[in-house]
Chains A and B, each alone.
Chain A
Amino acid sequence: MKKKLTRRPTSAIAWLLPVVLLISNQCETYVDIDYEPQLNVFGILSNAQQRQEILVDRTYQIEEPTGPVIDDALVILSRDDLFDTLEFSIPDVRYISSPFTLVPEGTYDIMVSSDGFDTLRGATTIPGNFTIFFPGYGDTLTFQDTITLSRSEGAQLYSVAFSQSAGGFGPFTWHESQPSDTIVQIPVADYWEEALEGYYTIYIASYDNNFYEYYLVEGDSIKQAGVTGGVGLFGSTWIRTTSTYVLFQ
C-alpha cells in the first residue's frame, strides 16, 4: 500500500510534463492587431485661394512602415452647382481643384475613394463673411486698442496674424468667441508684447466647426473633423485683411 502511494505522484508528474511542454510550444508570439487602415484627409477650403488643395494620406498599422501619400485617389469636391474632380499635383503633393469662388455659408462636400480603403466623405460649411470695424485701412493701432469685427456666421474660432509691409510676420493669435457674441473683440495687448512699429497687413480669419474640432477639442485620438469613413480634417476658413500703422505707446 505504501509503495503505491509513493509512486502515484511520480506518475502524475510524468503525465503532466509532456502536456505542459506541448502547450508551451503552442504559445502565441505575436500580437494580432485588428485594425484596417483608413484614408486620412487634410483640406481647408479658403476664400484666400482660387484653387483648393486636399491632401490624401492614410493611416498605418502601428508597426507598418510609412509610405508615400496616396496619388491615385478619386477626389471630388461638390456643391449645388459645383462638381469638381481634383487632380493630383506632384510638386504640391496634394490634389488641386479647378479655380472657383467659395460662397460664404455655403456647404461643400468631399468624396475620396482609393482602392483598398473605405470611401471617405466629408462636408464643411464655409464661415460667414464678416466686417472689420477696427482697425480700418489706414487706422493707427496701439497696444491699448481692441480689434473689432462683426460675427462670422458658423464660426467660433478666429485668428489674427500681422504681416509687416516691409516683409516678415508679426504677432499671431487665436481667439475663441462666445456663441452669443454679435461683435467679436480681440484686445491687442493680450498677445502683442513686443514688436516693431510700422505698417502691417492684418489677416483675420474665421474658422468652421470642423477646424475647431480638429485643433481644439481634446480627447479622442481619432480625429474625424467633418469626415466619415476615415480620419482627418475637411474644414474651411474665411479670411479678411486690413492695413494699419501700429504705434507703440
Chain B
Amino acid sequence: MKPRSASRLLPLASSYAVLLVCTAVFFLPIAFMIVASLKPDELVLREAGTWRALFPGGASLQNYRDVFDRVNFGRFFVNSVFITGCIVLGGLVVNSMAAYAFARMQWRGRTLCFGFVLALLILPFEAIAVPLFYQMIEFGWRNSYQVQIVPFIANAFSIYLFYSFFLTIPKEMEEAAAMDGAGALRTFFTLIVPLAKPAFATVAILTFLMHWGNYLWPLMVVDHETYRPLPVAIAEFQTLPPIQWGDIMAFGVMMILPVLVVFLVFQKGFVKGVASSGIKG
C-alpha cells in the first residue's frame, strides 16, 4: 500500500472544502432566520445585505414578545401538535393492523383489498384535494379538527411499509404462539407489535414529516383561527400589517425550534426512516 502521500491528501482536502461550502449554503438561511429574529425590526432589512446579516447587534427577545402580543401563537402551535399527533398515532394503530392482516392472515378478498391499497399508493393527495373538499362540506366538517385529521389516518404507504416489515418476521414465532392457543389478534398485539418497534418508529417519523408542514389542505378547509395550524398561520402572519420581518422570523424560529430539537435527539431515527422509504422503491 502507498503511504498517505499528497495524492491521498488532496482528494480528502477537496472533499472537506466541498462539504464546508455546502454547509454554508444549507445553514445560511437558518442562521439568517435566527439572527433576524433577534434584531430590531427596522434593522433586519437594512442589514440583510451586509455581513451584519449574520451578527445580531443589540440582540433582544422583543420580537418574540411582539409575536405573542400580535397573534395567538400558542393556539396555532397546540393545533399543529394536536393535529399531527392524532394523525401519527391513529395511523400507527390503523395501518399496522391492516398490514398484519395482509401480510399474515388468510381471508377471502385479501388479494383484492391489497391490490386496492397498492393502487392507491400512487395517488398523491393533491389529486383528490378538490373533491375531498366538497365531500367535507357535505359532512359539515369545515372548520374543525377532524377535517384535518380523519382523512389522513388510513394511509396506503404506511400500510405498505408495515407490510414489508411484517414479512421479514420469521413465521415460526407466530406458529409457536398459535400452538399456545393465541388467536390472531393476541398474536398481533402481544408478539408482533413489540417486535416491530423499528417499523413503528419509521412510520411515525415519515408520517410526521409528511403532515407537520401541511399547508394546502388547512388553507382550503379552515378559515377560523381556532383550528388554524402553524404553516397557514405564518403565511397569514407575514401579510399582517405592519410587516415586521423581525417578528415574522421570530414566529418562524418558535415554529421550527421544537421540531429541530426533536430531530437532533432522534436524528438517527429520522435518517433511518427516510432511508428505508427508498429502499424498496
Asked if A and B bind, the verdict is no
Residue positions of A touching B, CB distance < 8 A: none
